[in-house]
A and B are shown apart, each in its own frame.
Chain A
């Protein structure tokens, strides 16, 4: 059952978690972050190249032609 002091406990545990996250973030060297961002960008470029091949031709007509009846 919930107790009266549950609110305080929640607050404490939340702020402890936040501290933990802050420490982790602070401990990560910025060069790592930059490298990670670069890798992510390269990754998204590769993903877009892959998706380009799969996309239906004539986007406008294809999207316009997708007409549904309502359901539940």
Chain B
């Protein structure tokens, strides 16, 4: 009924070795992950592998499985390729996915924590790249929190939301499609160039929009769908589905990330409670998604199946109104502070976007980036085809504090921070206290030598006195919290003691 829910963000970072555009990016990505692992962990901890037992990337939410033979090789994400993989003490996974280093945040329960642990991922990437430069003979590696090379390739930033299994998938498709088409006005990171290869000149709201080609589907690497049907809950499948959202941009601006997770979580709550009373169904959502993105004036009118024509902003205002009514109806004065804050910020952002989008330069990525680009256009008399503008677009997302333009803008107060450096520094090391990520992260910190493997829904121990590996399932995302297992872990000096205690309780 609120913005609170089990969620997470996974981001594939762009990676390059300046001056060497054709290096093997799988190898450089591995180098980045391993450099971090070697610096922060005991060598023994590197042996912990990912546990793929519960992964079902070919399970479709519409109720069938794709056979492995029919799948594109890039869809077989449960095959261990022997690429670098770290499970961090903050509960996150830092590994090589396809040809990119990826940070998958630990499970968090609210949009503010999503921002904190997402930002921690940026810091981890920056640190990892810095460590690579210290390896004798290694080429310096640059990492970018963006989603396209502007030459036809895209890589993802995915949001994950735990939902009630009972919510009909058809309702999800009906309401989330217009929500995703319209939320770009808030969540876009901005992009110089139109079309998948960016060859047409111009500026658009979203890094990702042009790479979406179908409305609903299982794929994530080709024919990308607005609604992804991967049904791999990493939790009790009878109770939950994990909604795997692949349309989002990688955001650097904290307010963009905060509102992206907060507003989407609220819309999902309304879906779960069958509250939404909106008819925003479109005949051509893919085309509309592109057109909304291609219009930074925000004046484009989306054509609905009903014949009505409506702007993306107006669509968002209708979702906001429903959310206000829903929260008032269900919670009244008992509503929590963060839900109120998300609603107020959402309204404030939409209202100002309506009067003059440039007012949002301190809060939203696409506006912050556009205001810098417009500054260059005015000062230097250059247009969208100019390499300097493309460079600003790219370098906006550089993870380095000195080279990354979003970082520089944040440092001088030109982009708002809602987190503090202390909160982010803590999140680099420690897990959220209120999900199973606490158990995973704390086990990694306390018993690194005894962990053979881990995943979202398990930790596997290799301890003396047991012939076989001992698998501790963590199928319930809200168990294994500090409140739940903090005392137990405190009492157990070794993993052996922990397993004995768990077996006694079982």
Q: Which residues of A contact B (CB under 8 A)?
A: 1-2, 6, 10, 13-14, 17, 21, 25, 43-45, 47-48, 50-51, 54-56, 59-60, 62-72
Residues of B near A10 (CB, < 8 A) are 318, 321
Which of B's residues lie within 8 Å of A, judged by CB? 12, 14-16, 18-22, 25, 74, 97-100, 144, 148-156, 158, 220-221, 246, 275-277, 317-318, 321-322, 325, 329, 347, 351, 355, 371-372, 375-376, 379, 387-388, 390-392, 394-395, 402-403, 405, 408-409, 412, 414
Chain B residues in 8 Å Cβ range of A62:
18, 391, 394
Q: Are B408 and A69 in contact (CB under 8 A)?
A: no
Q: Do A43 and B414 touch across chains, with their CB atoms under 8 A apart? A: yes
Number of A-B contacts (CB under 8 A): 129
B391 and A47 contacting across the interface, CB-CB below 8 Å = no
Given contacts A25-B355, A43-B414, A67-B153, 10 further A-B contacts (CB under 8 A): A6-B277, A10-B318, A14-B317, A17-B351, A47-B409, A56-B403, A63-B391, A66-B16, A68-B100, A71-B153
Query: Chain B nearest CB: distance from A42 CB in Å?
Result: 11
| A25 and B354 alpha carbons, distance in the complex (Å) | 13
A69 CB contact (under 8 Å) in B20, B25, B144, B392: B25
Contact of B372 with A72 in the complex, beta carbons under 8 Å: no
> Closest 6 interchain pairs by CB?
A71-B155, A2-B277, A69-B99, A68-B149, A60-B387, A59-B387
Q: Which residue of B lies closest to A57 (CB)?
A: B391
**Which of A6, A51, A63, A72 sits near B158, CB closer than 8 Å?**
A72
Cα separation A14 to B427 with both chains bound (whole Å): 40
Return chain B residues, CB-CB under 8 Å to A66. Answer: 14, 16, 21, 144, 149-151, 394
- Are A63 and B154 closer than 8 Å at their CB atoms? no
Residues B12 and A72 in contact, CB atoms below 8 Å apart: yes
**Can you list 30 A-B contacts (CB < 8 A)?**
A2-B275, A17-B351, A21-B355, A25-B355, A44-B371, A48-B375, A50-B412, A54-B408, A55-B395, A59-B388, A62-B18, A65-B16, A65-B18, A65-B20, A66-B14, A66-B16, A66-B151, A67-B22, A67-B153, A68-B25, A68-B100, A68-B151, A69-B25, A69-B153, A71-B98, A71-B156, A71-B221, A72-B12, A72-B155, A72-B158
Measured CB to CB, the closest approach of chain B to A51, in angstroms, equals 6
A12 to chain B, nearest CB (A): 11
The A interface is mostly helix, strand or loop, or mixed, namely helix
Report B198 CB to chain A, min CB distance, Å: 10
In whole angstroms, what is the CA distance A60 to B347 when docked? 40
Of B275, B321, B329, B405, which contacts A54 at CB under 8 A? Answer: B405
Q: How far is the CA of A11 from the CA of B155 in the complex (A)?
A: 40
Q: Are B403 and A48 in contact (CB under 8 A)?
A: no
B394 — which chain A residues lie within 8 A by C-beta?
Answer: 62-63, 66
- The interface residues of chain B lying within 8 Å CB-to-CB of A63 are 150, 387, 390-391, 394
Minimum CB distance partner of B274 in chain A: A1
Pick the most buried of A45, A68, A71: most chain B CB atoms within 10 A of its CB: A68
Partner of B19, one of A47, A65, A67, A69: A65
A55 to chain B, nearest CB (A): 6
In the complex, residue of chain A having the shortest beta-carbon distance to the beta carbon of B20: A65
Name the CB-closest residue of B to A20.
B351
Q: Is the CB of B412 within 8 A of A72?
A: no
Complex alpha-carbon distance, A62 and B389, angstroms: 12
Q: Enumerate chain A residues within 8 angstroms of B391, measured Cβ to Cβ.
A: 55-56, 59, 62-63
CB of A67 within 8 A of CB of B408, answer no
Of A1, A17, A47, A64, the residue contacting B414 (CB under 8 A) is: A47
Given contacts A67-B151, A68-B155, contact A54 B18 (CB under 8 A): no
Contact of B412 among A6, A13, A47, A48 (CB under 8 A): A47
Verify A70–B155 contact, CB threshold 8 A: yes
B14 with A68: CB separation less than 8 A: yes
Q: Known A65-B16, A72-B98; judge A48-B25 contact (CB<8 A).
A: no
The complex places the Cα of A64 from the Cα of B144 at a distance, in Å, of 15
Q: How far is the CB of A67 from chain B (nearest CB, A)?
A: 4
* A71-B387 in contact (CB<8A): no
Which residues in A have their C-beta under 8 angstroms from that of B276?
A: 2
Q: How far is A62 from B150 in the complex, measured between Cα atoms in Å? A: 13
Q: How far is the CB of B459 from chain A (nearest CB, A)?
A: 25
Which residues of chain A have C-beta atoms less than 8 A from B403's C-beta? 54, 56
Residue of B nearest to A71 (CB): B155
- Chain B hits for A6, CB < 8 A: 277, 325
Docked CA distance A72–B355 (Å): 36
Q: With A and B bound together, what is the CA distance between A50 and B403 in angstroms?
A: 11
Q: CA of A7 to CA of B351 in the docked complex: distance in angstroms?
A: 19
Nearest A residue (CB) for B321: A10
Neighbouring B residues of A71 by C-beta, 8 Å: 12, 97-100, 153-156, 221
Q: Which residues of A contact B402 (CB under 8 A)?
A: 54
Chain A positions within 8 Å of B152 at CB level = 70
In the complex, what residue of chain A is closest to B24 when comparing beta carbons? Answer: A69
CA distance A9 to B149 in the complex (A): 46
- Chain A residue numbers with a CB within 8 Å of B18 are 56, 62, 65
Contacts of B277 in A (CB 8 A): 2, 6
- A63, B16: Cα distance in complex, Å: 11
Cα of A59 to Cα of B318 in the assembled complex, Å: 43
CA distance A67 to B22 in the complex (A): 7
